[in-house]
Structure 1
Amino acid sequence: MPTQPEWVADCNCSLCRRLAWRVAYFPPEQVQIAGQTTAYVWGDRMIGIHHCPVCGCGTHWQTLEQDFGRMGVNARLLDNFDENAVEVRKFDNAQ
Structure 2
Amino acid sequence: MALHKGSCHCGKVAFDVETDLSQVIECNCSICRKKGYLLTFVPREAVTVSGEESLSTYTFNTHTIRHRFCADCGTATFGEGKQPTGEAMLAINVRCLDGVELSELKPIPFNGRDR
Identity, % of aligned positions: 24
- 1:61 has 2:79 as partner: yes
Q: Which has the higher relative contact order, 1 or 2, with Cα contacts under 8 A spaced 6 or more apart?
A: 1
* 2:109 aligned partner, one-letter code: K
- What TM-score, normalized by structure 2, do the two folds share? 0.72
Secondary structure class of the residue paired with 1:51: strand
Counterpart code for 1:59: T
Which ranges of structure 1 fall in alignment gaps of 5 or more residues? none
- How far residue 4 of structure 1 moved from its aligned partner, in angstroms, is 5.0
**Is residue 80–residue 88 contact of structure 2 (8 Å, CA) maintained in 1?**
no
Provide runs of 4+ in structure 1 moved above 4 Å: none
- 1:40 corresponds to which letter in structure 2? Y
SS of residue in 2 equivalent to 1:70: strand
Q: 1:47 aligns with which of 65, 69, 83?
A: 65
Q: By how many angstroms is 1:82 displaced?
A: 1.8
Mind listing any 5+ residue stretches in structure 2 that lack a counterpart?
1-16
Q: Within 2, Cα distance between the matches of 1:4 and 1:78?
A: 12
CA RMSD of aligned residues (A): 1.9
Query: Residues 14 and 3 of structure 1: is their aligned pair in 2 closer, same or farther, counting only changes over 3 Å?
Result: closer
The structure where strand makes up a greater share of residues is 2
Normalised to the residue count of structure 1, the TM-score between the two structures is 0.85
Query: How big is each residue's C-alpha offset from its partner over 1:26-81, in whole Å with a ceiling of 9 and x where there is no partner?
Result: 111111222121111110111100011111111111127x7344210100000111
Distance in 2 of aligned mates of 1:58 and 1:84: 20
Q: Specify whether residues 4 and 85 from structure 1 end up closer, same or farther in structure 2 by C-alpha distance, changes over 3 A only.
A: farther
